[in-house]
Amino acid sequence: MRLEQVADTATQDVVRQMLEDEGLVSCDLDDDGIDLLVLRDGITVVACGGLENFGECALLRSLVVRREWRGRGIAVMLLAALEDAARQRGARTAYLLTSGAERYFQRQGYASVARASVPAAIAASRQFSSLCPASAACMRKDLAPQT
C-alpha cells in the first residue's frame, strides 16, 4: 500500500467520485489550501482523505475507504498520516465534521465539541460555514507532538 499526495487531475477526479458515492462534500476540492492524500494498492485508489491547515489548527475531511477494503485498519492508517501531516504544518489541534462516523472517530481519540467552540479560522472554512449539514457532529483531538 502506497501513500501519495494528490497532484494530478485524474486522481482528484477519482477522489471526487469516491466522496460523491458516499454523499460527502466534493465541490470545494479545487479550493486553495486543501491537501488530499490517497492510499493506493497498485494503481487502485483504495482510500482518500483531506486536510486544511489553519496555523495551529487543522480540519480533517473527506475520509473514505472503498467498501471492499473496509475493516482492515486502512482508515486508522490514513488518519494517522493526515494527523502527521497536520502536525508537520504546525497544527496542534485537529477538527472534523461527520454525519455518520462519530463513534468511529471517538475510538480514534476525537471528542464531540460544540460548533460554537471552534477557532474562527475553522468556523470560516467552507465545510463548516456552508457545505456540511448543520446536524453534522463537530469533533476535536489534541495533536500531541510526536517524540
Ligand X SMILES: CC(C)(COP(=O)(O)OP(=O)(O)OC[C@H]1O[C@@H](n2cnc3c(N)ncnc32)[C@H](O)[C@@H]1OP(=O)(O)O)[C@@H](O)C(=O)NCCC(=O)NCCS
Can you give the binding site for ligand X, defined by CB under 6 A? 22, 63-65, 70-76, 98, 100-101, 103-104
Please say which residue, 42 or 145, places its beta carbon nearer to ligand X.
42
Strand 44-54 relative to strand 2-5: parallel, antiparallel, unpaired? unpaired
CB nearer to ligand X: give 16 or 145: 16
In the complex, minimum distance from the CB of residue 115 to ligand X, in angstroms, rounded to a whole number: 16
DSSP assignment letter at 22: T
Q: Which is nearer to ligand X, 99 or 147 (CB)?
A: 99
- The position carrying cell 460548533 is 115
Q: Which of 120, 58, 50 is nearest to 95 (CA)?
A: 58
Tell me the closest approach of the beta carbon of residue 80 to ligand X, in angstroms: 10
To ligand X, the closest distance from the beta carbon of 52 in angstroms equals: 13
Nearest to 50 by CA among 76, 74, 85, 77: 85
Give the nearer residue to ligand X in terms of CB position, either 14 or 74: 74
Minimum distance from residue 95 beta carbon to ligand X (Å)? 12
SS3 8: coil
Closest CA to 97 of 22, 29, 5, 24: 24
User: Closer CB to ligand X, residue 11 or residue 145?
Assistant: 11
For 131, counting Cβ atoms within 10 Å of its Cβ (0-12 exposed, 13-18 middle, 19+ buried), the class is middle
> Smallest distance, Å, CB 5 to ligand X?
19
